[in-house]
Structure 1
Amino acid sequence: MSTLYIRLPSRSVADNVAHWIALPCPYALVATDDTVEREGVAALPDLANVITVAQRVVLLLAASDVTLLHLTVPPMSGARLRVALPNLVEDQLMTDPADCVMVAGPVGNPADAPRTVAVVQRSWLEILLQTVAGYGARQVAALPAQLCLEHAVSGASAVITPFGQEIDLAIRLAHEDGLGLPLLPDNPAGSATDVVEALCAIVPTVSIALYVPAEAVTAYQQAVEALLPLEPRVTVLSDGWSHWIEGARSTSINLVAGMAGTAGATVDWRRWRTPIVLASLVLLLNIGALNVEWWRLSHEAAALRASMAQIYKNAYPKETVIVDPAAQMRQKLAAARHDAGQPAPDDFAALASGFSQAWTSVTQNATGPVKPAIATMEYRDRSLLVKPKPEPEVPMAQMKTALAARSLGLAQSAPGVWQIRSAP
């Protein structure tokens, strides 16, 4: 998996230029076998193609932008620790914890040892992540630059990164400790002297390994010899990507993990382009097929309605208004049967006859001094409304069965009132 490492300018440097995104940044594209495929210095827009190709992008944040705190944290889960961190570090910050991203380092040995907490300004980190995401970054990590330097057991290590007239100084003091400082020399020609003086002021006693660009090694060696002629505790070395890569792999603090909803891995939609296109085509085909089937069924329904209307018109040519041919045909047939002396199933005579037969079959076996009787009977809206006397009670279930055998239905329209209709 190819990894692109980019050393970014500090927020201070970015605020002092009109277009910080145009600042040249050191970068290296590293293959899976740790081979550096490409390296150099380029602005982020010029690295768009490299960012797209790389499977992982590692942003090395300027040491001055990341504050490392050391706190004694009570034992708690990762989720609870993320919630508690703002309250734990509030007294040590000069800004609102809500405006910062905080990530805790691993549990130390022993477990109650102070833990390292990295803090960075949320707005600046969001700008950086959105910028590289806009260039097609697939997976992004953001690491403190000071923790990616070589760790010297008995001393400190430092790196300078020039960005135009300004210089970012990163210092690693211990395994989980380091800091940074943006420098703006008054005289660019004497920048090496200013850097060495600031470095010796921050680290006054122990030996220091200072990494500088290859073309600046001589100037910094001369500055060290001039400032520390009797105690050469600063060793000037040529900067290279080998110790950066090794340090980036050894650190466990990834500030992207503290973005609370911003994932380090973004979806590479280019991989899904072909499946999405195929799924869209299948969906369009299915929609087209459904539309064709709906049109066919609609056409058949229209033809059936036209045929029914034509049949009704042929049977009753004098009828000019045809709204529902089937219903109108049923009405005509019922009227014809009535005119011919044939009772309709929902006529009073048919309903009363069927009900009488069912009533007789249910009540003929009734025992007791009082026989079941009917209080009222009424024919209304092609249904027979019957109200039996309350005593003795007539078994409604048996009555329903008897009526069903005679193609009649029974429903209770009101308490104690039966409604008998012709069964459909």
Structure 2
Amino acid sequence: MSTLYIRPPSRYAADNEAHLLELVCPFAQVSHDGSIEREGAAPLQDLSGSAAKAQRVVLLLSASDVTLLRMQVPPLSAARLKAALPNLVETQLLDDPSGCVAVAGASSDGLRTIAVAQRAWLELLARTLIAFGAQRVAALPAQLCLPCQPGGLTAAIGERDGAIDVTLRLSEHDGIGMTIAPAPNQGEGREALEALAHEVIRALLAVVPEAPIALYVPQSALGTYREAISDVAMATERIGVFADNWPHWIAGARGATLDLMTGLGAAGSPKRDWRTWRWPLALAAAVLAINAAALNFEWWRMKSEAKSLRSTMIQIYKSAYPNESVIIDPIAQMQQKIAIGKRNSGLSAQDDFTAMAAVFGETWSRIMPGKPELAIAALEYRERSLFVRFKPDAETPAQQMQQMKTALAERNLSLEVAPARSAATVWQLRSMK
């Protein structure tokens, strides 16, 4: 997955959206295998094409724009915690919490790291990148993307319109940012850069009076800062100067979990671009239409065939029974007429009482020889079924029932146990034809 990393300026440097587009931002374009394909610095508007092509855009927000708080948070669900965060951080902020976005990290040692940033600034960044065509946007605190130095701290500087943005990572969960502006009497060019370098070194020693400091500076300013360290007392022993590069920022961003864009909700999510799906959707619609047409054609064909078969059956029934005027179900009526004709000619049907009783008696005498006939209390015939009811005090031949069922099935009769009557077992015989 290709990712575009951008370090936007602080919100104080961008007066409006038009000014934001003109500000130069360091960037790095990383391929799916983690290699840096392209890096440099360019105005934000020149990165619109790269943002549209990248599958993810990651903003490393200026440390001065993000406040990190380390505090205890009551055990709440994710939804309740999101609603409660403005009230929890209200006493820690100078701004109105309703105009801020607060995102809580995972719990560690009973505490959570909470990142707070201005909502209007995040919305401006999100709106700008979404207008570029960015698919996914994340915003991470830059101070948490610096390498964490055990027993010391890490600092990085960035030049913005003559001023210096200083990013400091104090610990695993804490970091701050500050801006150092040039003094009015510092002059211009190299003289101003050297004066700013001395100001940065003195500020770092004041903020961190004892711990060692790893300072990352632009490659072009590496010599200037090394000279400034040699001019400031105690700086040589405590501050190490290194050339800034994208690999350590990218490694830190991959390990960061506080994404401030998640606090914006739908405002920080790009709208789905259905234009990229137009051909797949058109193909799916065409396949659906073809299948619907095929199903309708098959239904129409089967309906026509059923109508033709019914017309043929009615015609056959009318030719056999011309006096019948009401024809609802020609098959059932034909079966009924055939059964009546068999009875009138002296032939019994499979489900007649006589035929069923004869088959049952023959099977009973063959399967259960020696059983007393008095064990059967009655034979009843109703609804084309023969019911055999045994006496309550008689021994019910349950063990031989399976043999009876098999033997009757050979004669096209089914045997089932009907609901008992007066504690007497009842068998039900039906024709299987």
2:44 matched to which residue of 1? 42
Quick one: which amino acid aligns to residue 419 of structure 1? Answer: Q
CA distance in 2, matches of 1:99, 1:168: 26
Corresponding position of 1:63? 63
**Residue among 92, 102, 112 paired with 1:94:** 92
Q: Is the 8 A contact 1:7 1:59 kept in 2?
A: yes
2: distance between equivalents of 1:402 and 1:149?
88
Matched, 1:145 2:148: no
Given that 1:66 and 1:118 are in contact with CA atoms closer than 8 Å, whether structure 2 keeps it comes out as no
1:322 aligned counterpart, secondary structure: coil
Q: Distance in 2 between matches of 1:374 and 1:284?
A: 66
Deviations 1:46-68 (A, max 9, x none): 74333112355331201113345
1:358 is aligned to 363
Q: Secondary structure at the match of 2:244?
A: helix
Partner of 1:420: 429
Q: Distance in 2 between matches of 1:405 and 1:392?
A: 26
**Cα deviation, residue 297, structure 1:** 2.8
CA–CA distance in structure 1, aligned partners of residues 132 and 36 of structure 2: 24
SS at match of 2:176: strand
- Aligned-pair distance for 1:337? 1.8
Aligned with 2:92: secondary structure? coil
The normalised TM-score by structure 2 is 0.61
Q: Unpaired segments of 5 or more residues in structure 1?
A: 72-82, 106-111, 235-241
Aligned to 1:248: 249
2:339 partner letter: A
Call closer, same or farther: CA 1:345–1:259 in 2, change over 3 Å: same
Aligned to 1:320: 325
Query: Contact between 1:103 and 1:254, CA under 8 Å: does it hold in 2?
Result: no
Q: Deviations over 1:208-244 (max 9, x none)?
A: 98989x9xx9xxx9xxx9xxxx97999xxxxxxx835
Contact kept? 2:62, 2:167, Cα under 8 Å? no
Q: State how far apart, in whole Å, the 2-side matches of 1:307 and 1:21 are.
A: 85
Aligned residues: 369
* Distance in 2 separating the partners of 1:28 and 1:13: 15
Counterpart selection for 2:382 from 380, 383, 390: 380
Gaps of 5+ in 2: 72-80, 236-242
Residues 1:150 and 1:420: Cα distance change in structure 2 (over 3 Å): closer
Question: Cα gap change, 1:123/1:386 in structure 2, threshold over 3 Å: closer, same or farther?
Answer: farther
The DSSP-based 3-state class of the residue aligned with 1:353 is helix
Q: 1:105-254 counterparts in 2 under 5 A? A: 119-121=115-117, 127=123, 128=125, 132=129, 135-138=132-135, 140=137, 142-146=139-143, 157-161=156-160, 169-172=165-168, 178-181=175-178, 202-203=203-204, 243=244, 245-252=246-253, 253-254=255-256
CA contact (8 A) 1:313 1:319 kept: yes
Aligned residue in 2 for 1:75: none
Q: What corresponds to 2:78 in structure 1? A: none
Distance 1:316 1:406 in 2: 32
Is the Cα contact below 8 Å between 2:155 and 2:166 reproduced in 1?
no
Query: Would the aligned equivalents of 2:102 and 2:114 in 1 still touch at CA under 8 Å?
Result: no
Q: 1:99 to 1:116 in 2, by over 3 A?
A: closer
Distance 1:125 1:278 in 2: 41
**2:335 aligned with 1:330:** yes
Work out whether residues 62 and 141 of structure 2, in 8 Å CA contact, stay in contact via their aligned partners in 1.
yes
Q: Distance in 2 between matches of 1:99 and 1:158?
A: 25
Q: CA deviation at 1:180?
A: 2.0
Aligned CA-pair RMSD: 5.8
| Cα separation, 2, equivalents of 1:309 and 1:184 | 101
**Greater alpha carbon shift after TM alignment, 298-307 vs 4-13:** 4-13
3-state SS in 2 of match to 1:343: coil
What SS does the corresponding residue of 2:310 show, helix, strand or coil?
A: helix
Q: How many angstroms does 1:327 deviate by?
A: 0.8
Give the TM-score normalised by the residue count of structure 1.
0.62
Residues of 1 paired with 2:353 and 2:112: CA distance?
Answer: 95
